[in-house]
Each structure stands twice: as C-alpha cells, then as structure tokens.
C-alpha cells in the first residue's frame, strides 16, 4: 500500500508516461541538474532531467553515461531549441536510448520532434499559449509542460494559476500535461492534480537538496531569500527580444542590463545579427549561472530562483523532499 494513495492515484497517468513511481519532474537547471541530482531524484521515485544548456555533444554524451552509472531508473534530457548543435545533441540522446527529451526555450525547429521520435523517445514541450500548445501536440509532441512566471530561470509573462485554468480544462482529458512554476508545497500539487494535471515539475525546491552540487554560498542565498527577492530581468530594447530570467536580485542582475545595452548597440551597428545577439546573451547567462552555482559568487553570478524560494529553508535529501510533498498533497486531498 502506497503512503500517499490519493496523490498516487491522481498521478497515475503521468507516472506511467514517465515510467516512474511519482509524476514529479525536476526542472532542468543549468549546472545544477547534472548526474548527482538527476540520479538522486530518479532513485527517489521522481523524474530527474539533465540540463544540457550550452553543453557540447561530447559533454552531454559524458553526462548521460555518468548518470546511467548512478541510476537504472528513467530520466530525461532537456535540450534548448536555439542550441546551434541541436540535431547533434539529439543524436547523442539516440545513442544512449534516452526515453524522454524535453525541448525548451522556444518553438522546436523543423524536424526536431521527428528526429527524437525516430529513436522511440517521448517528446515534452513548453507552450506559452493554448493555440501553440494544441499545434505542438498535433505535430507530434507527447506531453506538455505549462510553466508560469513564478518559476526560476527563463520565464513567460503569465502566472501558473492562470495558465492552469486556461490549459487544463482544454487539454488534460486527452493529453499528458505537467504544471510548473511556483510550486513549493504538496497542497499546491493536490490542487493542480485535481484540475486535471498528470503531474508537476519543481526546480527551486530541489536546487538546494543535499545531493545538489551547488556551492554552499549558492544554497545559503536561497535560504536567506524570500519571494520578493526573486525578480525577473528587465528588457532594455524591444528589438532585442530577450526571454526574461528570474533570479535573486544582486549585482549580476545590473550587469545583465548593461550587457543587453551593449549587445543592442552592436545589433544597431550591424556588427551582429539577431541570432548571434540572442546566443551571446544566452552564453552570458550560462557563464553568470556557473559563477554562482559552481564558484559560489552570489554577488555577481546569476542566482536563478523561483518565487517559491522562501519555502526553501534548509538542505534536505531529495527522498525526503519527495516524501514530504506527497504527504502534504495527500493530507490536503483527505480534507476535501
């Protein structure tokens, strides 16, 4: 008998889709969602996802192999759609027979969904609007993640609660839909499952798990932070459409604004084209995030965190976090 029977029952469809005990995905966080955290989440009955980010195909190959050495449970790989070597990265996933690939950061380029499905993997996509969600599901995506602006890292403009009300009644009956953004407790999970979600995705809650390799200073910044400290970056030039990023406010946030002004100026002068400009900004984020996560520079690095950061108060093992979330959800469902 499962310890959280009501939640487990509502998650059944999502868990079957993922091949896991619980339909709880870990959001892909660059530098954080690597072999240690991913395998720990999968071993604890959740679904770990490797954040490929700006990795080369060789690095991804190594990371998948290393993760497989630490878990025999299912896990996924998150690929950024604007990566210049996207199809080479898909080939690496095919080589390792990865079961699930998450395409993030934009509309999947032509042929990418087909290339993933060709080796038998399931494709998960993000969609900011209902019309686009329907189009992606019609064109072969197997599941959808709806992620609200409360999330950490790259965000859209609409809150999770609004997206859930709009997407779930329209899609959840026929499709597997996971809800993400601002989820810090099991009571919230229960509500989204009752609305028809097949499962949920959390990032911020797992970033400071015992198994996370994030620097102690990075974790300490999370423990100090509260919801209003996790702010979205500002866009300085409408001609340079930069996806906003939510992170804890620090000097790094100011440096990013300066970086945008510099890149926009070079775009004006014809020194870079739009694709190069956006890629340069992506690389800036990857570097700033590495400084915070790996080197512990929480002043000038990017401490990406969702608004649920105030609920992260100490280091806990992944298995405890998952058990706690499931128990809170069941308790909430029992009171209905």
- Give the pLDDT of residue 193: 98
The rounded distance, in Å, linking the Cα atoms of 327 and 186 is 7
- Give the pLDDT of residue 1: 54
Q: Could you tell me the two tokens for 143?
A: 């599941």
Of 186, 184, 130, nearest in space to 158 by CA? 130
- Give the pLDDT of residue 322: 98
Q: Could you tell me the two tokens for 336?
A: 């209905």
Mean pLDDT score of the chain, rounded to an integer? 95
> At residue 285, does pLDDT exceed 90?
no
The rounded distance, in Å, linking the Cα atoms of 46 and 195 is 21
Residue range 145-156: average pLDDT?
95
Task: Report residue 279's pLDDT band, with 50, 70 and 90 as the boundaries.
Answer: confident
pTM of the model: 0.95
> At residue 241, does pLDDT exceed 80?
no
Residue range 70-127, pLDDT digits in tens: 999 999 999 999 899 999 999 999 999 999 999 998 899 999 999 999 999 999 999 9
Query: Would you say 137 and 155 are in contact if contact means Cβ atoms under 8 Å apart?
Result: no
Task: Report residue 143's pLDDT band, with 50, 70 and 90 as the boundaries.
Answer: very high
Strands (DSSP E) found in the chain: 24-26, 49-51, 76-80, 100-104, 122-126, 143-147, 153-154, 176-180, 199-202, 230-232, 245-248
The rounded distance, in Å, linking the Cα atoms of 142 and 124 is 6
């Amino acid at each position: 008998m499962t310890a959280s029977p009501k939640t487990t029952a509502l998650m059944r469809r999502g868990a079957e889709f993922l091949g896991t005990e619980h339909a709880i995905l870990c959001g892909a966080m660059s530098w954080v969602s690597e072999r240690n955290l991913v395998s720990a989440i999968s071993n604890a009955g959740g679904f770990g996802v490797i954040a490929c980010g700006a990795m080369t195909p060789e690095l991804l190959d190594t990371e998948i192999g290393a993760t497989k050495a630490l878990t025999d449970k299912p896990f996924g790989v998150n690929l950024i759609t604007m990566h210049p070597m996207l199809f080479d990265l898909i080939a690496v996933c095919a080589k390792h027979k990865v079961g699930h690939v998450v395409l993030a950061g934009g509309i999947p380029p032509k042929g990418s969904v087909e290339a993933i499905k060709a080796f038998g993997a399931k494709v998960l996509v993000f969609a900011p609007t209902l019309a686009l969600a329907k189009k992606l599901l019609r064109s072969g995506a197997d599941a959808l993640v709806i992620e609200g602006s409360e999330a950490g890292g790259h965000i859209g403009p609409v809150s999770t609660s609004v997206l859930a009300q709009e997407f779930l009644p329209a899609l959840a009956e026929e499709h597997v839909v996971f809800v993400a953004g601002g989820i810090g407790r099991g009571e919230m999970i229960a509500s989204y499952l009752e609305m028809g979600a097949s499962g949920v995705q959390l990032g911020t809650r797992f970033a400071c798990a015992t198994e996370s390799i994030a620097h102690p200073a990075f974790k300490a910044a999370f423990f100090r932070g509260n919801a209003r400290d996790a702010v979205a970056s500002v866009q300085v030039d409408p001609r340079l459409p930069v996806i906003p990023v939510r992170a804890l406010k620090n000097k790094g946030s100011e440096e990013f604004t300066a970086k945008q002004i510099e890149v926009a100026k070079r775009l004006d002068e014809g020194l870079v084209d739009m694709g190069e400009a956006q890629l340069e900004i992506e690389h800036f984020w990857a570097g700033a995030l590495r400084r915070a996560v790996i080197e512990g520079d929480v002043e000038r690095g990017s401490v990406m965190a969702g608004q649920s950061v105030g609920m992260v108060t100490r280091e806990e093992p992944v298995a405890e976090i998952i058990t706690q979330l499931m128990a809170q959800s069941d308790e909430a469902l029992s009171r209905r």
